[in-house]
Amino acid sequence: MEQPGVRLNKYLSEAGVCSRREADRLLEAGRITVDGETAVMGQRILPGQQVFFDGELVGEKERPVLLLVNKPAGIVCTTAEFKGEKNIVDMVHYPVRLYPVGRLDKESEGLILMTNQGDLMNKILRPGNAHEKEYLVEVNRPVTAEFLEALRRGVPMLGTVTAPCQAEKTGPKSFRMILTQGLNRQIRRMCEYFDYRVVALKRVRVMNFVVDGIVSGSYREATEAEMKELIRLLADSDGRPYRERNRKNETDGRRQGKYGK
């Protein structure tokens, strides 16, 4: 028999507060209360109960928002507050509580999406969906064809092998890269594996959203046409091609070292 009520992490996600995963972290931190009592993991919300996040009542769903933000270097992509760190939520200072969809490391710049739609965030971030993210990368020494081909094939890191990607030269020490993964500091780690150091890194596209026309440190809302295309892309993705490619790439990667040797 189904239990009454709605799981608290789902309640928070559907209310636009955060993703379900982030909701679990907020619960562990004791930042959620229900009817004046600190909430617990797995708790279910019944009709008439009041849920508070950091002392603020979580009410009816707010207007759905999706922002395209051009993050400058030096800004951290987290909702947490760290002494001496500039937070992207505080930088945007939007009147509705928003959360970054994924992250860009502090040293990187460029496009990051922010939303109050927890379910939308989950679908975009789901690893198996293999959504494209495009970057412009500048490194400390000349880019060679051998280096780019090695990046395309996949690089051992963090206990796995990166999925095949696109990489093309744009200058003597720069290249364009399109990833379908979001491993921690992925591009920097991939370059370091071949003794390259990233000097500058800018994300210029996430799926169908581009940073063009957005001044560094500012943002704009997604257009109706962009949202329709996003929904189409999310509906079309099931993750199988990415998982199949990654399994094959992991096998190939175990058989070779740097540059396939």
For 80-94, the DSSP string reads S--TTPEEHHHHH--
Residue with tokens 């596209």: 205
Phi, psi of 133 (to 5 degrees): -130, 130
pLDDT at 2: 56
Look at residue 62 in the predicted model and tell me its pLDDT.
Answer: 66
Q: How high is the pLDDT of residue 192?
A: 97
Classify residue 91 as left (phi > 0), alpha (psi -120 to 50) or beta: alpha
CA distance 179 to 155: 12
Distances (CA, A) of 194 to 51, 188, 212, 251, 257: 50, 10, 31, 20, 11
What are the start-end ranges of the E strands in the chain?
6-7, 32-34, 37-38, 44-45, 51-53, 56-57, 66-71, 75-76, 86-87, 99-100, 109-115, 133-139, 156-157, 160-161, 166-171, 174-179, 198-206, 209-210, 219-221
105 is catalytic: yes
Structure tokens at 50: 């009041």
Predicted local confidence at residue 109, as pLDDT: 97
Amino acid code (one letter) for 31: R
What does the block give as tokens for 245? 């490619």
Per-residue pLDDT of the chain (261 residues; tens, 9 = 90+): 457 778 888 888 877 778 888 888 888 999 999 988 999 988 888 877 889 988 888 865 567 899 999 999 999 987 666 566 788 998 998 888 888 998 899 999 999 999 988 888 888 888 777 899 999 999 999 999 999 999 999 999 999 999 999 999 999 999 999 999 889 999 999 999 999 999 999 999 999 999 999 999 999 999 999 999 999 998 876 544 333 434 444 444 433 444 443
Catalytic residue among 24, 105, 119, 252: 105
Residues 6+ apart with CB under 8 A from 256: none
